[in-house]
Amino acid sequence: MSLIEADSPVDRPSRYNAARMPARLIEALATTEPLADLFSDESVLRAMLQFEVALAKAQAHVGVIPRSAARAIAAAQTRAFDVSRLAHDMLRAGTPAIPFVKALTQFVRRKDATAARFIHWGATSQDLADTALVLLLKQALPILAKDLTVLESSLRALSEKHKNTVMLGRTLLQPAPPITFGLKAANWLSSVRRSREKLESTFAEALVLQFGGASGTLASLGKNGPAVAHALAKEVGLDCPEAPWHTQRDRLASLICACGVLTGSLGKMARDIALMMQNEIAEVAEPAGGGRGGSSTMPHKRNPIACALTLAAANRMPNLVASFLSTMSPEHERGVGGWQAEWPTVAAVIQSTGVAAASMAETASGLWVDPERMRENLEATNGLIFAERAMMLLAPKIGRDAAHKILESAARKSVQEEKRIASVLAEMPDATKHLNAATLSRIESPEEYLGSAENFRKAQLVKKPVTKTMRKKER
């Protein structure tokens, strides 16, 4: 294991403790505390230092540099770096590696001038930048997994609890034949689960070492290049790819796209819940408390804040994904401006995915559901949502077109006279000729017009075996 530990109390200053969120105010609605901490200056420094320490240890193991040099380099700590100066110098250098390696060299030189000569030996700037980014992504994995696990478990519980809770289906924002809330929750669950499985797969592919040297050949290490690469991959706990990938960004691109799809799935759930929270619908509500859902001017409000954060993330995501995809055509063996654009984009994508997942996990685990209100909204349609059912009962006897005309007329009269559709049909000879009183009395029973809703609900709760998951072996 590397000497650079993510939870090392020595390397984590008090300003980054759990009591204070290490994010700028302007980013506060776009991340979570764990992910803000992950992409903080301190964490990024740890990842870069982890690469340089691991590189030195790997090269010492292979015999490329003295073991004493590796020990001296491993003694460096992130608190030795001036973050403000590094940020200034990075902007001037066009890469985080040059000023970081310079500062690290100066630190090591003060204690061991000989060891300082072997820092960053045989590596190039992009090796440091890309591997540090991948190391941050590796840490993001369990953060996302935790919230997604809570979300899936909560949605499953909601679906089971409300498998018999009937409610309006809604198409084009208008009332439609009934469904169950259990089916709606199962629909959310299946979309999130499929998206998560794709995310897991792309994470597994993206967590690979970047180490290729100047032109991606490791020529500076001679015959030792592959051995150092494998030793380095083992040190940092990443897979060693078949070749360096400086200008092959497909793995990261697949991960970014998977984040976009997952966040879109979460946004769908958030949109539904926000609409169902409207006062005139009032079928569900986000969990309250802890400063959630209030208004600065209207004390009565219970706002869909978690949904708002999720939808905000879903709104940001398409442009972020497009931004990354636009960098996928770098020039030759090292691009100009492509990978330099990726760090902030990737950080924003992961944090947007994380805030959406955390928000929906919190919502699903405490969602308030009002079955009585769902029934009231269904009844408020005066049975118009069962016009399709009546038409399908008439159609075998008089033909679909004729049945459709009868129901169109009945629907208009139901609206004009504010009468239930069954009552209107009972007054129409063209209908009563084919539908007896017993049939008409049951025509507005939602439980009798759910079709295969329960079959579809249960089918979506079945979790299929997964080959590559977030539970991929830990190193």
The predicted-structure confidence for 207-251, as pLDDT tens digits, reads as follows 999 999 999 999 999 999 999 999 999 999 999 999 999 999 999
| Residue 463, pLDDT score | 78
| Residue 4, pLDDT score | 29
By CB atoms closer than 10 A (0-12, 13-18, 19+), residue 7 is exposed
Helix (H, G, I), strand (E, B) or coil at 335: coil
**164 — phi, psi (to 5°)?**
-110, 10
Do 440 and 166 meet the contact criterion of CB atoms below 8 Å apart?
Answer: no
Do 386 and 449 meet the contact criterion of CB atoms below 8 Å apart?
Answer: yes
**DSSP class per residue in 192-210:** HHHHHHHHHHHHHHH-B--
Is residue 1's pLDDT more than 90?
no
Residue 387 CA to residue 400 CA, distance in Å, equals 13
Is residue 324's pLDDT more than 50?
yes
Task: Please state the separation of Cα 94 from the chain's center in Å.
Answer: 30
The predicted-structure confidence for 106-162, as pLDDT tens digits, reads as follows 999 999 999 999 999 999 999 999 999 999 999 999 999 999 999 999 999 999 999
Taking residues 332-339, what's their average pLDDT?
A: 88
The predicted-structure confidence for 41-79, as pLDDT tens digits, reads as follows 999 999 999 999 999 999 999 999 999 999 999 999 988
Tokens of 366: 């405490």
| Residue 49, pLDDT score | 97
The predicted-structure confidence for 375-403, as pLDDT tens digits, reads as follows 999 999 999 999 999 999 999 999 999 99
The predicted-structure confidence for 127-136, as pLDDT tens digits, reads as follows 999 999 999 9
Res. 6 pLDDT band, cuts 50 70 90: very low
The predicted-structure confidence for 266-299, as pLDDT tens digits, reads as follows 999 999 999 999 999 999 999 986 655 554 444 4
User: 368-369 and 284-285 as β-strands: parallel, antiparallel, unpaired?
Assistant: antiparallel
CATH class of 1-123+215-238: mainly alpha
Residue 422 CA to residue 324 CA, distance in Å, equals 56
Is residue 18's pLDDT more than 50?
no
Q: What is the mean pLDDT of the chain?
A: 91
According to DSSP, the residues that pair with 232 across neighbouring strands are none
Domain segments of the chain as ranges = 1-123+215-238, 125-208+245-379+453-475, 384-443
Sign of the CA dihedral with 175 first, then 177, 178, and 182 last: negative
Is 125-208+245-379+453-475 the same fold as 1-123+215-238?
no
**Residue found under tokens 């032109």:** 215
Q: How many CA atoms lie within 13 A of 76 on its CB side?
A: 34
Pick the closest to residue 272 from 164, 191, 160 (CA basis): 191
| Residue 288, pLDDT score | 80
Percentage with pLDDT > 90 across the chain: 84
The b/e string for 362-385 (b: 16+ C-beta within 10 A; e otherwise) is bbbeebebbeeebbebbeebbbbb
Q: Which residues are catalytic?
A: 295, 334
| Residue 466, pLDDT score | 54
Taking residues 327-343, what's their average pLDDT?
A: 89
Res. 80 pLDDT band, cuts 50 70 90: confident
Residue 285 CA to residue 367 CA, distance in Å, equals 6
According to DSSP, the residues that pair with 18 across neighbouring strands are none
**Residue found under tokens 């005066």:** 382
Tokens of 41: 């200056």
CATH class of 125-208+245-379+453-475: mainly alpha
According to DSSP, the residues that pair with 52 across neighbouring strands are none
Is residue 12's pLDDT more than 70?
no
> Between these two residues, 26 and 458, which has the higher pLDDT value?
458
Helix (H, G, I), strand (E, B) or coil at 284: strand
**205 — phi, psi (to 5°)?**
-75, -30
Pick the closest to residue 362 from 294, 302, 289, 462 (CA basis): 289
CATH class of 384-443: mainly alpha
| Residue 343, pLDDT score | 93
According to DSSP, the residues that pair with 176 across neighbouring strands are 169
According to DSSP, the residues that pair with 171 across neighbouring strands are 174
| Residue 293, pLDDT score | 55
